[in-house]
Chains A and B, each alone.
Chain A
Amino acid sequence: MLEMLQLPLVVTAQVDLLLVLVSLLAFWTRLSHLNYPNAVVFDEVYYGQFVSLYMKRVFFIDDSGPPLGHMILASGAYLGGFDGNFVWNRIGAEYPSTVNVWSLRLLPALCGALCVPLVYLLTLELKFSHLSALGAAVLLLLENSLIVQSRFMLLESVLIFFVLLAFFSYLRFHNSTPHRTLQGTCWLILSGVSCGAAVGVKYMGLFSYLLLLVVASLHTWKLIGDKTISHVISCHLYVHRVLCLVVVPVLLYVFWFYVHLSFLNRSGPHDQLMSSAFQASLQGGLSRITRGQPLEVAYGSQVTLRSSVSQPIPCWLHSHKVNYPIRYDNGRGSSHQQQVTCYPFKDVNNWWIIKDPGRQQLVVDTPPRPVRHGDVIQLVHGMTSRFLNSHDVAAPMSPHTQEVSGYIDFNVSMPAQNLWRVDISNREAESEVWKTILSEVRLIHVNTSAVLKLSGVSLPDWGFRQLEVVADKLFKAHSSSLEWTVEEHRYGTSQEQKEREAELHSPTHIDVDRKISFWAKFVELQWKMLTVKQEESEHKYSSSPLEWITMETNIAYWLHSSTNAQIHLIGNPVSWGVANLSLLAYQLLAVVYLLRRRRGLKDVPDGVWDQFVCLGCVCVGGWLVNFVPFLLMDKTLFLYHYLPALCYLYLLSPALLEHAHTHLLRYAHQPLRALCVGALAVLLSIFLTYRTFCPLTYGSPELSAHQLQGLKWRDTWDILYRRR
């Protein structure tokens, strides 16, 4: 140890000037004039609302991705002192002076800028030369679409940053020999962390993560086959990788949610999508209403019953003083008794009273007699005093099920069948007490053993378009349309109908705090995020994946409110072409190589071949996994979804050129020179195209309509002109 402290202390620093140069340029292109335009640009309007909610610590669900992305954007806002008081209502709205636009956009822009040096380093780790690395960095540097996407409060640049970082650090680890140094482990852990972060920003990160796992398992497979290392060490290596590349990302992913849930503890606009128990854990909202409600439902309790189905909207068991029509439009008859429906709004008609069939009274005894699993009850509608009833009459919209009604005795030999058995489906003990909010209950009709069910169909005009409630005999094992929870609850005290009505109109109150565990909340939130259905609608600028390859469409991000200054998501057409060309060339070359190698003709030495294969796995594989899944998706897609895939192609192009240069054209001097000149010419034209499209990338300077017309390289691009 002491030898290391020998004097003189010498610091030897190696600085890759190329790396520094491209980094500086990247920062310059991504960060200059970041607060221009001082207006909401495209999807900022979408992400902004979540940032505001973060600032106010209000709970929300966003099905577009896990919470890390929003958290990163929110932390930028937090650093800039944003207080969340801004209405994100339309694209192009001016930011007031209180909003620090620069800080809102800073973090995505930083990530976008860091992608450039990362690509440089990644190319080096793929074992290509500095010149190739420079080429890849320049391609990325001068890609207009990447610049646009990173200069605003959007998440793609963050995603690309983490994906590149994950691959870079994994390859660093893989190339470091021996593997088991501390440094190597650090790189591996960094890789796992970036994977977790990438998946945490957008679900799209999952594609790259899976690719990385495939590459890592191929490498591990080779290691397992290495017979020079003992079984124990081999096993150890394997466990090591699984820990860093699988366990760490999964834990991180859960951790993002932990932060998200512990941070957002106030009720907000999306409460209603969640279960009652979840809502009760948020401050305000339901917990304000339900705080202090009695926990155990007793005979004489006044309750509202919420259906566990929250699709399309949550609703409560409801009845009102209107009867089913004697005949429906299609000629079928009904019982003409009082309608029972499910109503999506809070209403005094949602109150029901739980009655013991053996007794007349509708008030709670002292002490209260709780209702247990298996007990038989009657349900009395609070405002009309009708009993919840079902009988062998076809339901209005779902004729294969039984009608449910508020019983009216018309003296037509249709007796009351109003006994219901309480079946608590999430019970832990057989004689469990029916609990407010927590218990999910099925109400089983005693006479017909049908179950009270929300059919999900809305009634026609005679039923005020409320949702139909039926009793269904064929009950499936787990269907949330059969489950009901008590949401609001109080012990009834008034015997007289008049008093009771007054009581029902008064708000509930009282006080206890109910907690559900983090895991329950996590599982529920994750499930909701994956199953919440977006309304499938086409956006003006949406596009189909096949259009991305040729950049058929652009996206108008912003237009100045009075001039022609505008920002578009348009890629650099030349780089785009280079990327597509290299993709084709690689595949062609790979097929030729493979066929010839199979016949025993080795065009390149084995080391080079391995390098070539590795390049293909990462770059072509990366392109495939980030592109092909979109072909199968039924979602509204935009051009920016293609950017991660594009980055992989930019990695590929210079490396492939170098491969061709050093191996294919080794002995042919004439084409070699042509290749170099061609590459330079392409680089120059990339730079010129970048310059040409700069006004649409940065939104300044303003162009005349004629100049804009000149930039419309494709007929399908939508460039906006202001009529003067």
Chain B
Amino acid sequence: MAKAECTPKWNTLALRNRKTCPTPEKSFQTTFTPVSKDKNSQTAGHLAGGDTQSSNGPSGQFLARESIESPSKVLLMLVAGLSFSTRLYMITEPPHVCWDETHFGKMGSYYINRTFFFDVHPPLGKMLIGLAGYMSGYDGTFPFIKPGDKYENQNYWGMRGFCATLGSFLPIFAYLIVLELSNSCTAAIIAATLLIFDTGCITISQYILLDPILMFFIMAAVLSMVKFNQQRYRSFSASWWLWLVLTGINLAGALGVKFVGLFVIILVGLNTIWDLWRLLGDMSLSLVDIAKHFLARAFALILLPVILYVTIFAVHFVVLNKSGPGDGFFSSAFQSRLIGNNLHNASMPEYLAFGSTVTIKNLRIAGGYLHSHWHLYPEGVGARQQQVTAYLHKDYNNLWVVHRQQDNNSQSGNPDLVRHGDIVRLEHKETTRNLHSHLHEAPLTKKHFQVTGYGINGTGDANDLWQVEVCGGRKGDPVKVLRSKVRFLHRATGCVLYSSGKTLPKWGWEQIEVTCSPYLKETPSSQWNIEDHINPKLPNISLSVLKPNFLEILLESHIVMFRGNSGLKPKDNEMNSKPWHWPINYQGLRFSGVNATEYRVYLLGNPVVWWINLASLGLYLTMVAVASIATQRGFSLGQQRIGGGLLMLGWLLHYAPFFTMGRILYFHHYFPAMLFSSMLTGLTLDILFRSADLLLHPPYSYWFQRAGQLLLLFSILYSFYLFHPLSYGMTGPLAHEPGSAMADLKWMDSWEF
């Protein structure tokens, strides 16, 4: 029961620190208030246009900074301490694979073993995980087969600890960002508290996942951007450059972990455009100055991240030089780079011959191998014959035998070569069906014809005949293995064998559709190459395949990733999380354990924190609406402007795009948006408490403010105390069963702990 011992300790720790806290805060308040008022009057003119970032005059800011300095240091230490202790507590529990650790842990191992794999995310996150594992003595041997597998003696703590460490920086960054934006310690501490005591943030930071790494880079980018904004009156100074370059580096990091990093790039981009627009309107700057500003940003925010991003991929390709499970997704040329792949220093008959067993790969990127299997097209989808698909993995069912039009018997002596213009019959090795096409609509691409497997043991009909055509070749040219681009023209209908790239539904095992296209334009989709070639009667010749250059590899791997991403469609029966579920904390994710006897971890936000966030969003919008209408009607507001616009924009950018996404979505996709939302809450509630002086007189308004802050703090701490088993694990009966410790906490029926 380490848990029971430790929790009260924290609470006392928190309380003790809280007790000491108000004193410096009070002094800060008293000293700060006149300064901030002074600043208001000074900056009122600047801000009339509804600017969302606080643009402080240099002197005012400097003064404010001086006075903030001492309490904020103490608070920062406190935030850091609490943050690290909540994240690192019970880091090794549960000692088995949880949820997506099965993917990312495995990929970390691949880096250690240097085997090539394919994933829909860019490589930085997994490389860092692999690195952390390597540094902490993990040897990459654990297979990470499925969630629930025991780690036994493996050194998995290093990878988890690394993620948790990065996750611990989030509240610290939030604290600093809000402090920069609002110049208010209270706002900053509220934001940090929300994040420190959010069970969701804790849970998602504690495991081997990409999310803590991604969020680390996102927050770091935002922090550097905000810091950079504050440097605007010291253009081209060292710290100006420092924060600018740091922003660029963090952007590259964010994008290098997941494509979600694109949203923070847009945020920074919009902020930069806004900044440049402001500079453009500043008539004291000459056009040359503006060009300098522009170029500096273009270098640090575009060029630098691109270089870093490309470097990440370069490292990725250099490290992973052994054949592995991801080979089939890539072109033959790409595979020849990988040690252990059958195309690496390949040795096979050079020219295609009759009687050879081959695999045929589509030239479209991520096009797959021509494939067939013992399943028929379902009723109502063309003719009810055997399916022919394109499949991305290497498989026995990808093998085809090249036959002449008539005979099926193997000849004696040297087999004849297949030449441009020859008529062939392709027989599927496993099922002995012929590749066949006819005038039926293809299952998905209705403009094309269906391709099936037909006949058995070589008997078929005239629709089984295909004419081989080497692209750019003349009649009589032999077909070179790997190097020739081949098209297969259907004799009877004149169409060309084509891979449409569309994923078949469940009946087609979600493989890729193969059709026969009546449009004869030469596209990679209709071109194929012979990859494996087995013919014992021909001499094997060592082939040095043209190795692709780095840019080709980069482009190819990106296209494969995007295809993979858009291919992650929700299955029919799978429970799909909807974006509107997320802000209301509608449903969590099971990280580990289902039954009463298991050790369960459930990713769910602290409901109090999340609902406060939700309410604050509404409150913020109302406040902005009221304030702007009032300004528009000509009332002057004595209130200080808040830098919430940037955070609101960040929240929107990290949330709204999910509504348009067709791919499968999970609850954890909301966490970056949740960070922005929490920071916004800090700002909003701070302003709300301070607005008390509009209604109440000084001593009362001050008490009101304090009472509000204390109430907020208490409710967050208490709810954390209630819900902490979600993160640190719970056993015993499920919440809806009698006798469960969590029974009273099942506030929503949709929670499944």
Contact = CB atoms under 8 A, between A and B. Distances in A.
Nearest to B277: A598
Contacts of A234: 633
Interface in A523-546: 537-540
Contacts of B736: 474
Contact of B633 (A224, A456, A476): A224
Contact of A476 (B287, B632, B749): B749
A669 interface: no
A538 B748 CA distance: 42
Contacts of B749: 475-477
B283 A540 contact: no
Nearest to A632: B660
Nearest to B446: A538
A231 interface: yes
Nearest to A475: B749
A227 B633 CA distance: 6
A609 interface: no
Contacts of B447: 538, 540
Contact of B444 (A227, A457, A537, A598): A537
B629 interface: yes
A230 B593 CA distance: 65
Contact of B283 (A538, A539, A600): A600
A540 B446 contact: yes
A221 B632 contact: yes
A600 B281 CA distance: 8
Given A227-B633, A599-B283, A477 B748 contact: yes
A225 interface: yes
A700 B528 CA distance: 45
B633 A225 contact: yes
Question: Contact size class for B?
Answer: 20 to 34
Contacts of B634: 225, 227
B633 A634 contact: no
Nearest to A225: B632
Contacts of B310: none
A476 B280 contact: no
Interface in A211-264: 221, 224-225, 227, 231, 234
Nearest to A595: B280
B618 to A, nearest CB: 20
Contacts of B549: none
B153 interface: no
Contacts of B629: 224
A724 B725 CA distance: 80
B380 to A, nearest CB: 11
Interface string B728-753: 00000000100000000000111010
A221 B628 CA distance: 10
Contacts of A474: 736, 752
Nearest to A455: B573
Contacts of A538: 444-447
A539 B441 CA distance: 11
A539 B446 contact: yes
A327 to B, nearest CB: 22
Contacts of B750: 476-477
B588 to A, nearest CB: 13
Interface string B421-449: 00000000000000000000000111100
B465 to A, nearest CB: 24
Interface string A396-416: 000000000000000000000
Contacts of A225: 632-634
Contacts of A455: 573
Interface string B642-682: 00000000000000000010100000000000000000000
Contacts of B287: 599
Contacts of B632: 221, 224-225
A225 B572 CA distance: 52
Contact of B280 (A475, A599, A634): A599
Contacts of B283: 599-600
Contact of B662 (A227, A477, A598, A634): A634
Interface in A555-614: 595, 598-600
Given A225-B634, A538-B444, 10 more contacts: A474-B752, A475-B749, A477-B748, A477-B749, A477-B750, A599-B280, A599-B281, A599-B283, A600-B283, A634-B662
18 contacts: A224-B629, A224-B632, A225-B632, A234-B633, A455-B573, A456-B572, A456-B573, A457-B573, A476-B749, A477-B750, A538-B445, A538-B446, A538-B447, A598-B280, A598-B281, A599-B283, A600-B283, A632-B660
Interface of B: 277, 280-281, 283, 287, 444-447, 572-573, 629, 632-634, 660, 662, 736, 748-750, 752
Question: Which 6 pairs from chain A and chain B are nearest by CB?
Answer: A477-B749, A225-B632, A632-B660, A598-B280, A538-B446, A227-B634
Interface of A: 221, 224-225, 227, 231, 234, 455-457, 474-477, 537-540, 595, 598-600, 632, 634
